[in-house]
Structure formats: structure tokens, C-alpha cells
Structure 1
Amino acid sequence: MRKLTFSLLLVLVTFCSALAQLRADSIFHQMKKVADWQWKTLETEGWRNPKKDWTSGAMYAGMVAWAKVANDETYFKKLIQVGEDNKWKVGKYRHFADDYCVGQLYSQLYTIYKDPRYIEDFKTLADTIAMLPHTEGLEWKKGIHMREWAWCDALFMGPPALAYLAEATGDMKYLDCTSKLWWKSTEYLYDKDEHLYYRDSRYFNKKEKNGAKVFWSRGNGWVMGGLVRVLSVMPKNHPDREKFVQLFKDMSAKVASIQQADGSWHASLLDPATYPVKETSGTGFFCYALTWGINQGILPYKKYSTVVAKAWDALTTSMHPNGKLGFVQAQGAAPDKVTYDDTDVYGVGAFLLAGTEMLRMTVDQEKNTAMVEAVNPAASERNEKITVEWSSVTAQIKKAKVKGLVVEDAVSGQQIPFEVIYTDQQKPKSIVFQTSLTPGGNKIFKIKRTSN
């Protein structure tokens, strides 16, 4: 009994330590190190796969998220160059979700830069996808994956691409098509008892060495990543939104319950002993999705904060000193072995997506602090006046008083000069400060109390 009590205490201390070590500046610099290593490696060693490939598409998802919080247009220019190199085309096989995963990038760049070339080809394809009847079964035969979302990975490749196009164009038919096809795939591939997805129909009756069903970490990571990306652009009043939210909650509870002691999820979710080493692409997508859920108020911070803190620790301890991300399982369709030296671009994409959400959560959950995010959705640099209502400040900072408040850049810690606007009754009405934002850039600030 003493040994058990000590073990439980040790785990609790580890949880608390992981949370205590989370710092916005540290998260930011870890992300920068990984992103810069990846771009440098691609530029000096070349691309392992085509720039239209699904592997690259997953990386772009993380690189767009990073470019925003980095507030540095250099990263957006790299992504625009990718589009130019691709001539803004999707892949060769038009209805194969892997080949239009890159549409996520094009739509997100169009949202900022408004260049119609960016989405012309993808929109033509999406118009066709939205009109097709999609009546075929999803059994893995007759090349069904070239026409339908018949494997769980496809739920990261296809749905977000169409959803972001809906956001970019304002045409909800793409989002409605996303929902229709998502639930078609879910009815076929989702195990309602385990709250996990089979990779495809070939795995329905397969078993792991321990007799458990085969559920692949990265495959289910893809699903959760795709799920939150669709939810992030789905209007609150969309008729299917609550179904998506409930699915997200169910999967989140299951995934959290099978996290390993090292903070990761191994390649096989239900047979981690057969694959005893952590795997960072699946872990990265799970960390991203769960932290997004916390930030959106869908998942309770108290229940999930230690889960994501441990996951982030598992990811950052997989970084090489030069920024290379290790323990990324090689391309495949099922659980497999992985080592510290294994890496690939989609693992980096997952890491950067997770980091952006961890950065927000870390600031947002800081005591006696109000988080403020400034966003520039335009293609030109802006000097913005940020206005924060006093009621918003007092909602997040107990007994807030003007005296003793400071405004800081959440990453650099630099204090920002601010002005307090008062009502006619000389009561605080708002806090106003200035900042500069690059095209597409975001900055996170915190208003905090330094004294009583």
C-alpha cells in the first residue's frame, strides 16, 4: 500500500510540474525552433514528397498556425511560394482526399490575401465534389479511397479543406457537403463502444498481440485534428454542430483515458506494450485537439489540463537540440515501430498546431490575468488600436483596479503603454493600447494585476 500511495503521489507531482513549467515564451521559442529547422531542411536537402502531397498538406496546417502567432510575414511568404510552385493546383487524383489536402493552405491564404488564383482550381474541384451523389459503399475495394473518405486519415485531409473553402468564399454548400460526408464515413468507421475510428474496413476484424482491436494513434489523431478544424469554422447555429461537438467530447474522454505514463500515445492505442515507444505525430494531433477544446470551453480545464501538459512535455522532449522533431512514425496505415531519429513533415505540422493552442491556454489560464488576442486578417501591415472593455477585464481579474494593472506582450514580456478611458461618472470604461501586426498576424497580450 505504501508503494502504491507513493506512486500516485509521484504521478500527481509530475502532473503539477508539467503545468508549472508551461510558459508562453518557452512554447513560442520551441515552436520557432522546430519550424525553422523544418524550413531549413527542406530548403537545403529538398522535399521528400511533392509539395501537393498530403504529408506536406498536414505540415502547412501547422505552418499557417505558426505564421500567425509568429507575427512574421516571412513564413507566409514561404507558404505563398509553395502555392506558386504548385501553380495553385491540387494533386493529380482529383477526388482523392490526400491530393486536395493542400486546399486547406490555399483557402487560408486566400482569406488573408484575397488573390482569386489561390482557390480557383480547388474551388472547381470542390464544386464537383459537392454535386456528386456519394452513394457508394466504403468497403476497401475497387479503389474506393480515390472517390470517397473511406479511411480515417481522410477526415483530416478532406473535411477541413472544404470547410476552410466555405469560410473563404462564404458559400456554405462546401460545409454542408463536409458534414454529409463526415457522417457517412463515421457511420462506417467509428466504433461506438471504443469511441475510436478504424483505419479502414480491412481492420474491422484484426487484433493486436494482446487481443485488442487495432486502433492506430496517428489515424485517430488525424480524425481529431480534422474534427476541431471543421468545428473552428462551423457557425454556432449550424444544424449539425452539436453532433460534431458530442463526437469530439466522446473521443476526447476516450483518448485522455488511454494516455501513457510518458505523456504520449503510442502507435497502437489499445496495445501500447507492443509499441513501447512514444509516437509524436499522433500525440501532436491529440494535444492540439484537446487543448483547442479547453480554449473553446468545450472541455473542462481542470479535467484535461494535466493531460495536455504531459502531452506537450512528451512532444518537446522529442526535439533534437537543432529543432528536429523525433519519434514521428514513418508513412503507413497501421501501428509500427518508431525511433528518436525518425521524423517527417506531418509530425512538425501536428507539433505547431499543438503549440499554438498550448500558447493560448497557458496565457488564458494564468491567474489574475485577462488574455487579449489581436488579429490582423488583412494582407497589409497594420498599426491597430486595441480596445478592451473594462467589464471584460473585471470578469477575468478579481477585484481589478486601474492602479497596479499592466499590459504585456505575452511572449516577450514587454510592457505596453496603455490608456484608461473613463465614463462620465469617472468609472473605468475600457483599456486602450496600440500594436503593430503583420499581414495575417496575431499577437497575444495579457492584462494582469501586479499589486493589490
Structure 2
Amino acid sequence: MTSAKNKLLAAAALLLFSGSQAFATGKPAAEKDSTLQKDYILNTMHRVADWQLNAWNTTGFKHNKVDWTNGAAYTGLYALGSMKGNDKYLDFLVKIGNDLNWNTGKDRFMADDYCIGQMYSLLYTKYKDKKMIAPFTLLADSIVAKPHDEGLEWKNRIQSREWAWCDALFMGPTALSYLSTATGDPKYLNIAAKLWWKTTDYLYDNEEHLYFRDGSYLQKKEKNGKKVFWSRGNGWVLGGLVRVLDNMPANHPDRKKFEALYKDMEAKIASIQQPDGSWHASLLDPESYPVKETSGTGFYCYSILWGLNHGLLDEKTYWPVAKKAWAALTSSVHPDGMLGYVQRIGAAPDSVDLNSTEVYGVGAFLLSGTQLYQYVSKHPKAW
């Protein structure tokens, strides 16, 4: 009885102390952010994913099923589908693959047209059905065999032969890297690394730690006189970078170089996050497009959380950045699950509003959500 009474007195003293502290500081006791609760994260992902599936099922595919736009969306659906109890999303992706006979696009050597190879390799890794990667493996063998000796100047449809634009770094090297994991053959990852650095040597700005979209932007300037660095373009790069790292062994000769690039870029990205947690369409001239943009923001949120989950980023520095980015993303979801503020297809910063949406934005959102779910599961006190 005495022990129970002492416990009650101790609890009462703790409450009294907490209340007096709040009174003394003028601040209420900290409340947990409901948007970081696991149930909220999962339910929001379901709403966004189900809205997209419903749109495809009711009005049809706006873009060809094999298109890069959908290929980016499939990456997020796969990530969500890999979480326990979400098999319906994987079933949907398998149906897409069967509808396409597991083929890539018609422009065989253009990275956009084999972005979908990521999905094929991931599904093969899960289900071990050879038909899922047979056509893409033949294409990948052709990519490995090519000389890749052209310059990357933006002319003569170079994009059909080389990774001459920064978006390609989400489309091409990722597909090849996942194929290495699926087949156990390192040659696909090795060519991905080789071509990654070729593109980086041409498009990466070592002073700003950002990528130009393509060679035609090397000398362009924004209204404020700064260089033109497109938010989603650099989002494609960071999203692609962590997905390549996901498939790169710790002892790979390029691993440290990739990690160094990743950390340099993330430091820059964190330094230019907007007060509302987002990034605007133009990274260095946010006032020219003074509204949040959720496809770039989604890929940044994803890549930062990936780095936190893999121990590559400092939690004290980057967890607040990730939390603010997630808040910017979730506040862009309509009541019916449509994700707004997604910049339309393009190659440069452009305007956006609440009703702007596209499938690749959904992919980035779902990739972010799955990484966040992992993080809060491992760090229950972080929020």
C-alpha cells in the first residue's frame, strides 16, 4: 500500500512540475505531430495511391502505360505495395507488366523509355518469373555493349542515345542497377555508374552542387540573375542517386564517390528549403515561382529520409528538414486524395497551383511516405 501511495505522489509531483514549467516558460507542453503518426502516414498514402488507381481505372491512362511518367509512379506504388497488407498495389503492377508483355518503350536507348525497367526488376526479385525481365535484359545487354562515345551537347536527338539531361539519372541508371540486383550480374550496375559520371561531368555545377537540366541551360539565367536550376530536375537526380545506392554493394569502387555527391547535394538542398517546408520550381530564384511544387519536394523528402534511414545524414540537421517537407506534401493532398501543386511535364521551372497534378508526383509522394514510415517506426521518440 505504501509503495502504491508513493507512486501516486511521485506522479502528481511530476504533473505539478510539468505544469509549473509550462507556466514559467509561457509555453504549452509539446504535442506530437499527428501527420507523423504511422496510421496517418499509411492512410494518407492509401488515399493518394487509391485516387491515382481510380483515375486510371475510370478515365484511362493519360500517358502510355510504358511511359516514363507512369514508370515513376510505379516506383512509389511498388514501395507502398511492399508494405504488409498492401498486395493490391503489386497485383496492379503485375497486370501492367502483363499488358505490356514486359517490354520497354519504342525508343530503345532513350532512358525515359526504359524507366519502367525498375518496376520489372523489382517484381522479378519478388516473384522470380523470368518473363518479367527477359526483354529488358536483352536491351540492357545492348546498352552495355554500346561505345557511349558521343558528346552530350543538346542536339541531334542525343537523348535517344545518351543520358544527356539530368532527368535521365532517375530513369536509366536506376533501371540498370535494379537489374543487377535481380540477376546478380554487376555489369549493369557498372555501366550505370560509368554513364552517371559522364552525365555528371557535363551537367553538374561544382559551385552550386546542383545539376543543370541539359546543355542548353548551361548559360541561362533566372530573373534574379542566378543560374537556372530546376527543382524537379534535381529531384530526379537525388531520387535516382539513392536508388542506385540501394543496389550498390558497400565495397563497390564507386560507392564512396556516390555517397560524397549525395551528401554535397543534400547539404545544398537543405540550405534552400522554403519556410513552408517546400522547394519552389526554381531553386535559386524561388520568388519567380512563389508557390510550392510537390514533385521536386517529394523527391527531396524521399532522398533525405532515405539518407536518415541508412545513416548517411545527421539526424539533428536533416530530420527537421524532412518533417517540414512532409508537412508541405500532406497539406497539398485534396480531400479525395488528389495530390496538388505538381508541376506539369517540362524541362524548366514553371507555374503551378493547387489543382496541378501528375502521376510522377504521386510516385515521389509514396516513396517519401514509405521512407517516413520506416523512420518513425525505428525512432518513435523523434516526433
Q: Taking structure 1 as the reference length, what is the TM-score of the superposition?
A: 0.77
Are the counterparts in 2 of residues 18 and 313 from structure 1 also a CA contact under 8 Å? Answer: no
Q: Which residue in 2 is equivalent to 1:312?
A: 326
d(CA) in 2 for partners of 1:20 and 1:206? 43
d(CA) in 2 for partners of 1:320 and 1:70? 25
Q: Which residue in 2 is equivalent to 1:76?
A: 90
How many residues are matched? 355
Q: List 4+ stretches of structure 1 deviating above 2 A.
A: 16-21
Displacement after TM superposition at 1:363 (Å):
1.8
1:191 aligns with 2:205: yes
Aligned counterpart in structure 1 of residue 303 of structure 2, from 281, 286, 289? 289
Q: Which residue in 2 is equivalent to 1:431?
A: none
The aligned amino acid for 1:349 is G
Gaps of 5+ in 2: 1-26
Aligned counterpart in structure 1 of residue 74 of structure 2, from 60, 72, 76? 60
Q: Which residue in 1 is equivalent to 2:146?
A: 132
Residue aligned with 2:133, SS: helix
Are the counterparts in 1 of residues 177 and 244 from structure 2 also a CA contact under 8 Å? Answer: yes
Displacement after TM superposition at 1:237 (Å):
0.5
Q: Which residue in 2 is equivalent to 1:229?
A: 243
Displacement after TM superposition at 1:357 (Å):
0.5
Displacement after TM superposition at 1:64 (Å):
0.3
Q: Which residue in 2 is equivalent to 1:179?
A: 193
How big is the alpha-carbon RMSD for the aligned residues of Structure 1 and Structure 2?
A: 1.5
Aligned counterpart in structure 2 of residue 167 of structure 1, from 165, 177, 181? 181
Q: Which residue in 2 is equivalent to 1:302?
A: 316
The aligned amino acid for 1:131 is A
1:250 aligns with 2:264: yes
The aligned amino acid for 2:53 is W
Greater fraction strand? 1
| Fraction of identical pairs, as percent | 59
Q: Which residue in 1 is equivalent to 2:161?
A: 147
Residue aligned with 1:69, SS: coil
- Structure 2 counterparts to residues 85-124 of structure 1, below 5 A: 85-124=99-138
Displacement after TM superposition at 1:72 (Å):
2.4
1:321 aligns with 2:335: yes
Displacement after TM superposition at 1:73 (Å):
1.7
Aligned counterpart in structure 1 of residue 278 of structure 2, from 249, 255, 264? 264
Displacement after TM superposition at 1:19 (Å):
5.6
The aligned amino acid for 2:177 is A
d(CA) in 2 for partners of 1:214 and 1:19? 35
The aligned amino acid for 1:331 is I
Deviations 1:200-225 (A, max 9, x none): 00000000000010000000000000
Are the counterparts in 1 of residues 301 and 326 from structure 2 also a CA contact under 8 Å? Answer: yes
d(CA) in 1 for partners of 2:261 and 2:368? 20
Q: Which residue in 2 is equivalent to 1:26?
A: 40
Q: Taking structure 2 as the reference length, what is the TM-score of the superposition?
A: 0.91
Displacement after TM superposition at 1:71 (Å):
2.6
Aligned counterpart in structure 2 of residue 341 of structure 1, from 330, 352, 355? 355
Are the counterparts in 1 of residues 35 and 41 from structure 2 also a CA contact under 8 Å? Answer: no
d(CA) in 2 for partners of 1:331 and 1:18? 37
Q: Which residue in 2 is equivalent to 1:351?
A: 365
Q: Which residue in 1 is equivalent to 2:16?
A: none
The aligned amino acid for 1:179 is A
Deviations 1:395-449 (A, max 9, x none): xxxxxxxxxxxxxxxxxxxxxxxxxxxxxxxxxxxxxxxxxxxxxxxxxxxxxxx
Gaps of 5+ in 1: 1-12, 369-452
Deviations 1:347-381 (A, max 9, x none): 0000000000111111212249xxxxxxxxxxxxx
Displacement after TM superposition at 1:17 (Å):
7.1
Deviations 1:233-255 (A, max 9, x none): 11000000000000000000000
The aligned amino acid for 1:45 is T
Greater fraction helix? 2
The aligned amino acid for 2:240 is G
d(CA) in 1 for partners of 2:273 and 2:105? 35
d(CA) in 1 for partners of 2:148 and 2:381? 50
